[in-house]
Amino acid sequence: MTAAVQFKGISKYFGEVRANSDISFSVAKGSIHAIVGENGAGKSTAMKILFGMYRPNSGEILIHGQSVDFASPIDAMAAKVGMVHQHFMLAEPYTALDNILLQQKGSAFALLPRKEQAQRINDIATRYGFHVDLNAKVENLSVGEQQRIEILKILSQDSDILILDEPTAVLTPQEVQDLFSNLRKLKAEGKTILIITHKLKEVMALSDAVTVFRSGRMVESKKTTDTSVEDLAALMVGRGLQIPEERLSSIDISKTLLNIENLSADLGTHKLRNINLKIHAREVVGVAGVEGNGQDVLIRCLLDSKSLNKGSLSGSIQCHGSLQAFPEDRLRFGVLPSRPVYENFLLGQEHRFTKGLFLKTRELIARTQEIMKAYDIRPHNERMAFGKLSGGNQQKLVVARALTQKPDVILAAQPTRGVDIGAIEFIHNEIRKSRDDGAGVLLISSELDELMALSDRIVVLYKGQIVAEFTRSEFNETSLGKAMGGGH
Amino acid sequence: MVKSILTTLLILSCSTLSHANTLKVGLVLDKGGKDDKSFNSAAYLGAKKAEQDLKIDLKYVEATDTNAIENLHRAFARKNFDLVIGIGFAQQDAVKKVAAQFPKVKFAVVDSDVKAPNVRSLLFEEHEGSFLVGALAAMASKTNSVGFVGGMDIPLIRRFSMGYAAGAKYVNPKINFTENYVGVTGEAWNNPAKAKELALAQIAKGSDVIFVAAGASNSGVFDAVEEKKKFAIGVDSNQNWIKPGVILTSMMKAVDIAVYDTIKETQAGKFTSGTVLYGLKNDGVNYTLDKYNEKLITPDMKKKVEEIKKKIIAGQIQVPDYYKKK
Amino acid sequence: MKRIFGFLLGLTLALLLTLFAGENPWNVFTILVRSAFGSMYDLGLTLSYTTPLIFCGLSVAIGFHAGLFNIGAEGQMTMAVVTAAAVGVLLPDVPFPLAPVLAVLAALIAGGLWGWIAGWLRAVRGSHEVIITIMMNFIAAGLAGWFALKIIPNPDSQNPETALVSPNYMFKDYDLVARLFPDTPANASLVFAIVIAVLMWIFLWKTAWGFKLRAVGSNPEAAHRAGISEKKVQIAAMTLAGALAGFVALSEVVGSAGQYRIGFSPDYGFIGIAVALMASNNPLGIIVSAFLMGALHKGASDLDLETSTITRDFSRIIQALVILGVVAQGYWEWFKQKRRKG
């Protein structure tokens, strides 16, 4: 039996960054195949190549034994390959049906009258259990429902290979269970499903086979029954899991650095309600929660409360000392991607490198070189456009820029998103160093591992409220997961 | 390809040789350009006729912007043209300046008064001709009101308007008169849409004969009267042919004759500097009558207007002149 | 000056097009070159077009550096020129060295104000600067026309222009550049233009303010998070852009004409966009690209005179093709970059 999908020696470079090198593995027809790996391991890149969004620099892809070369997702869809992206591609002011029909343009079904189309899609939804109110506007639907629309978009085109990129990241535990049972139904109908994830328990629960990525390479591809969570984790990280840290210094309760009292804020879609939070010197407080439960509001209140309407904000935030942040979306909020590295290092600390009217360019460049060496930011070229650095190197510079200013309070939002393994550990250690030097850290992350590795305390945000708080001795994945889903 | 290029070069070089001794005439048209069917067209046709009849070497250019006029005059002078003719009031300063620097080159300028030993100023008595078409307008009007649409609001165009209004009042002292101008900048000569709007507004207020002196903007007024079945009066050239049946007559300025005559006299070695006046007396301005409007001008109207013309020439009627108003 | 390729491409295309008009492209090219640089007189005219193009190019470029598209250089320049003329006409007794300084200062304030309004509306009201600056161009043209024709018209001419400023306001005999190029409007403001371009380069690349301005242009959200007020920067950038365009008053009123003439500009403000694009918004490159565009403008306007079939309309086609060439190359580079990013 030929494989549904086969990768043969696929490599992909972005400038000097090697996103995929020599990837080879195959996916059996009618199976659920998990692709696992840490952030930045190259899973998404490989899937985007399969979906025609990128063209590989070398290697080939076979679908049902046929070599294919997709120039764009349109070609991929014609070959019955569909993909649900981590960030949904939906037109929010339109109805679910509109969004699904939009995808059909040019396909054989496009000629059917709208009523019959709706009937056909309803049939598909019923058959696989993806119920959605087709006449509801997307903006009024929950994230889980939006995901179903995305899946229906693919199913309505009769695709038989489905790629799902991190489908569970935004779902509550109950929604995850529903999704999994529906995916099993699809498998029973003969569809082939590739699912990107880094949650190993889901892999064990759902998949037939699993392929592990690490640093752009395929390190293992085997049947799920032949492996275990520990086994996969070791393969992903490339070495044994980190030993829980021994705390060298202890929290200084006498010194409150950040004091949030009765904070409520309303940003329209996202809200915060009655938040009380204290951060002391030498303390790391983690904020856990599924994305979209108020984290973004909290960040804006801390960094940019002036931009909020007066009426929508109440309560108080007291910050004793200087504050520095790693932005949750560094390319958007943190850097000037088209400008050279040294100008990015300068951003936000212009006063340190100014004499009279003029910039002390020589000093700035020397300092940038020093920092790039200390943080091992590669390539060692301070004049390179920042956007051409890899994610890990980008984030190291952002972290370096914030920490070298010796802030009293550090707001670390998603500090290791899209960062390779080596850099993650480096960044974690830098955060620890700053903490030991007396800083207080507010860590907002969607990675439970990260939260548990760094935090002294973890609060859980759910629908804008703190619904649970755990100390270091109390928290574990189960308790946190339960609180994140709203149950506690 | 190469062959055709070579042939072109050959012809070019031959033509320069054969014309070595002919009179070289440069014509600098105003922004309106040679296809305005009015003022600049008249000058262009006069020069073209001279080119055919008199075998002169003619080169014409159209000004692109205000800065360019002086450069164009100077360019002709530097190339040793014998005669450079500037068309329009806007060229006064340029001709004054360049003529002083090139005393051997002869200049002529229409609608501008430049006093220099090598410049001939060709001036027209626009108010006289306008008086005649004003009289005709009053005779043709059934609504007892006539209108005037000017191009750019400058004394020259006010002169048309004043003569026209006086002519209409001479025939019918109680007639209503309205006047509007397309604009205050050079763009006014090239804005038929605005001219049409003005004409439609005047028609709405009751005017049924509209005299338009707005260069290439004239066509807008012609469109308006055609739509509303009223009359227009053209200007500078004989414009009766443009929309036969709705153009009552045209206030012709013999710019073509002035240009032609200047070229002819220069060729014959009889160029004189100073001002040459073109009025009713020497047919420099006139109303026009041809096959396109013969049905619109009744014999009675013709008789009356010819009488008025005679009286003006004889000095029995004093036509008010905007230039002398102050 | 990578964009020079686009300039050459557009020029080549345009020259090939002259084949259809029955001209020899090489011949047309030599006419272009000769009438742009052929004599001190021709060069002087080319330089007199270059100067306002440098100022307008800088005006557009500083907008681009702050992430704003300033289509309003034309209006900012118009306001400045009419203001300088008004000062010169209404205050005739100011003594010489002070008079031109006063006129230019007034012009910079007027141009700057015109830019500031657009910047303020953009920053505070969130209106799009392209729409505002286009509208402000119309308002400027109307205001300047009204002022020139109703308040201080030239009593000696029927041309739409203001009266002449008092002689105290003009460089005249002090102007060494003008002496080099007799009979042309070229004047010492060219030297000022080059100095201003160099100063702007220093400002953009060597000062913290310049860095903040570029940071806002590169990523306004990141600049905001870094404590830079993007609103203040946007307002400042548009004000500077207006003042830079306002410097045209120096070359037009103080340097050459001594008055505001309606229609004096062959769209300097708009050609300035092509000048800035061609130089990738580098102030020093703008000196070169303004010179090239100035030469093209002068050369093309002479084609009408020098050839038998190319009219003024055709010379506009040539300029348009060159601008298209420059813009197309800019687009191509942007497209390639986007492609690479995926």
**Within a domain: B205:** yes
pLDDT at A341: 94
Which residue, among C208, C213, C242, has the nearest Cα to C229 in the 3D structure? C213
Task: Give yes or no: residues B260 and B240 share one domain.
Answer: no
Task: Give yes or no: residues A386 and A296 share one domain.
Answer: no
**Within a domain: A329:** no
Task: Give yes or no: residues B102 and B206 share one domain.
Answer: no
Per-residue pLDDT of A41-90, as tens digits, reads 788 889 999 999 889 999 999 999 999 999 888 889 888 999 988 778 88
Scanning A331-350 for CB atoms below 8 A from C yields 332-339, 343, 346-348, 350
Task: Give yes or no: residues B29 and B110 share one domain.
Answer: yes
Per-residue pLDDT of A202-231, as tens digits, reads 888 899 999 998 878 898 899 999 988 778
The two structure tokens encoding residue B292:
């396109």
Q: What is the ipTM of this complex?
A: 0.85
B5, B61, B90: residue with CB nearest C304? B61
CB C57 within 8 A of CB C275: yes
Domain CATH number, residue B238: 3.40.50.2300
- Rounded Cα–Cα distance for residues C267 and C262 (Å): 12
Band (pLDDT 50/70/90 cuts) for residue A416 is confident
Residue A105 or A129, more confident: A129
Per-residue pLDDT of B273-316, as tens digits, reads 999 999 999 999 999 999 999 889 999 999 999 999 999 999 99
Distance from CA of A360 to the nearest CA of C (A): 8
Q: In what order do the strands lie in the sheet with A192-197?
A: A81-84, A161-165, A192-197, A32-36, A209-214, A217-223
Distance from CA of A359 to the nearest CA of C (A): 5
**Within a domain: B4:** no
Task: Give yes or no: residues B304 and B172 share one domain.
Answer: yes
C223, C225, C342: residue with CB nearest A327? C225
- Rounded Cα–Cα distance for residues B170 and A445 (Å): 93
Q: Do chains C and A touch (3 or more CB pairs under 8 A)?
A: yes
Task: Give yes or no: residues A100 and A207 share one domain.
Answer: yes
- Rounded Cα–Cα distance for residues A237 and A250 (Å): 29
**Within a domain: A327:** no
Cis bond before residue B117 (omega within 30° of 0):
no
Helices (H), C208-262: 208-218, 220-225, 230-246, 248-249
C212, C221, C222: residue with CB nearest A350? C212
Which residue, among B127, B123, B208, B215, has the nearest Cα to B164 in the 3D structure? B127
A106 conformational bin, left if phi > 0, alpha if psi -120 to 50, beta if neither: left
- Rounded Cα–Cα distance for residues A461 and A465 (Å): 5
Which of A405, A434, A454 represents a domain boundary (last residue)?
Answer: A405
Task: Give yes or no: residues A156 and A116 share one domain.
Answer: yes
pLDDT at C338: 60
Task: Give yes or no: residues B41 and B144 share one domain.
Answer: no
What value does the mean pLDDT take over residues A455-464? Answer: 90
pTM comes to: 0.80
Task: Give yes or no: residues A269 and A312 share one domain.
Answer: yes
CB B186 within 8 A of CB C262: yes
Per-residue pLDDT of A342-392, as tens digits, reads 999 999 999 999 998 899 999 999 999 999 999 888 788 899 899 888 778
For C208, nearest residue in chain A (alpha carbons):
A359
Task: Give yes or no: residues B42 and B170 share one domain.
Answer: no
Q: CB under 8 Å to C126, separation ≥6 — which residues?
A: none
**Residue C141 clears pLDDT 70, i.e. is over it:** yes
Task: Give yes or no: residues A272 and A371 share one domain.
Answer: no
The two structure tokens encoding residue C286:
């703008």
Q: What total of structural domains would you count in chain B? A: 2
**Within a domain: A328:** no
Which of A237, A252, A280 represents a domain boundary (last residue)?
Answer: A237
Task: Give yes or no: residues B105 and B147 share one domain.
Answer: no
Per-residue pLDDT of C35-65, as tens digits, reads 899 899 999 999 999 999 999 999 999 999 9
Tell me if chain C has a CB within 8 Å of the CB of A265: no
- Rounded Cα–Cα distance for residues A93 and A75 (Å): 28
**Residue B58 clears pLDDT 80, i.e. is over it:** yes
- Rounded Cα–Cα distance for residues A257 and A259 (Å): 7
What's B91's DSSP letter? G
Radius of gyration of chain A (CA): 24
If residue A277 lies in a helix (H) or strand (E), which one and from where to where? Answer: strand A271-281
The whole domain housing A282 covers 244-322+406-488
C226, C340, C342: residue with CB nearest A348? C226
Residue whose structure tokens are 């009201």: C125
Label each residue of C150-193 as H, E or C: HHCECCCCCCCEECCCCHHHCCHHHCHHHHHCCCCCCCCHHHHH
Distance from CA of C216 to the nearest CA of A (A): 9
Q: What total of structural domains would you count in chain A? A: 3
Task: Give yes or no: residues A59 and A101 share one domain.
Answer: yes
Residue A259 or C304, more confident: A259
Q: How confident is the prediction for chain C on average, in pLDDT?
A: 91
Whole-Å CA distances, B276 to B25, B85, B113, B124: 19, 14, 10, 8
Q: Which string of DSSP letters, residue by residue, matches C249-285?
A: HIIIIIIIISS-BTT--SSHHHHHHHHHHHTTT-HHH
Most confident of A150-159, B57-66, B117-126: B117-126
The whole domain housing B117 covers 21-124+255-278
pLDDT at A85: 85
Per-residue pLDDT of C309-337, as tens digits, reads 887 777 788 888 988 888 888 778 777 76
Q: Which string of DSSP letters, residue by residue, matches B227-254?
A: HHT-EEEEEES--TTTSTTTEEEEEEE-
For C219, nearest residue in chain A (alpha carbons):
A336
Cα B222 to the center of its chain, rounded Å: 17
Residue B31 or C191, more confident: C191
**Residue C171 clears pLDDT 90, i.e. is over it:** no
Scanning C251-280 for CB atoms below 8 A from B yields 261-266
Per-residue pLDDT of B78-90, as tens digits, reads 989 999 999 998 8
Residue whose structure tokens are 């001036």: B123
Residue A332 or B168, more confident: B168
Band (pLDDT 50/70/90 cuts) for residue B16 is very low
Helix (H, G, I), strand (E, B) or coil at A449: helix
Considering all CA atoms of chain B, what is the largest pairwise distance in Å, rounded to the nearest integer? 72
Helix (H, G, I), strand (E, B) or coil at B157: helix
Band (pLDDT 50/70/90 cuts) for residue A309 is low
- A357 chain-C contacts, CB cut-off 8 A: 207-209
**Within a domain: A332:** no
Band (pLDDT 50/70/90 cuts) for residue B136 is very high
Tell me if chain C has a CB within 8 Å of the CB of B66: yes
Band (pLDDT 50/70/90 cuts) for residue A248 is low
Q: How many CB pairs under 8 A join A and C?
A: 65
For C141, nearest residue in chain B (alpha carbons):
B185
- Beta strand pairing call for B24-29 and B83-87: parallel
Task: Give yes or no: residues A250 and A108 share one domain.
Answer: no
Tell me if chain C has a CB within 8 Å of the CB of A308: no
Task: Give yes or no: residues B118 and B132 share one domain.
Answer: no
- Specify which residues A137 forms β-bridges with: A95
Which residue, among B176, B183, B188, B204, has the nearest Cα to B38 in the 3D structure? B188
For A15, nearest residue in chain C (alpha carbons):
C340
Task: Give yes or no: residues A210 and A313 share one domain.
Answer: no
- Rounded Cα–Cα distance for residues A379 and A367 (Å): 16
What value does the mean pLDDT take over residues B157-161? Answer: 95
What's B144's DSSP letter? S
What value does the mean pLDDT take over residues A261-274? Answer: 84
- Rounded Cα–Cα distance for residues C228 and C208 (Å): 11
Architecture of the domain made up of C4-13+43-332: Orthogonal Bundle (1.10)
Band (pLDDT 50/70/90 cuts) for residue B19 is very low
CB atoms inside a 10 Å sphere around CB A476? 11
**Within a domain: A438:** yes
Which of A405, A433, A458 represents a domain boundary (last residue)?
Answer: A405
Q: CB under 8 Å to B116, separation ≥6 — which residues?
A: B96, B99, B100, B107, B273
Name the residue ranges covered by the structural domains of chain C. 4-13+43-332
Q: By percentage, how much of chain A surpasses pLDDT 70?
A: 92
**Within a domain: B305:** yes
Task: Give yes or no: residues B246 and B300 share one domain.
Answer: yes
If residue A81 lies in a helix (H) or strand (E), which one and from where to where? Answer: strand A81-84
With an 8 Å Cβ cutoff, are B185 and C305 in contact? no
- Rounded Cα–Cα distance for residues C92 and C85 (Å): 11
**Within a domain: B222:** yes
Task: Give yes or no: residues A92 and A11 share one domain.
Answer: yes
Task: Give yes or no: residues B152 and B220 share one domain.
Answer: yes
Per-residue pLDDT of A329-342, as tens digits, reads 888 889 998 899 99
Task: Give yes or no: residues A344 and A389 share one domain.
Answer: yes
The two structure tokens encoding residue A476:
């574990």
**Within a domain: B2:** no
Domain CATH number, residue A281: 3.40.50.300
Q: By percentage, how much of chain B surpasses pLDDT 70?
A: 94
Task: Give yes or no: residues A87 and A215 share one domain.
Answer: yes
Task: Give yes or no: residues A393 and A429 share one domain.
Answer: no
User: Picking from A473-487, C78-92, C278-292, which range would have the lowest pLDDT averaged per residue?
Assistant: A473-487
Helix orientation angle between C129-146 and C98-120, rounded to the nearest 10 degrees:
140
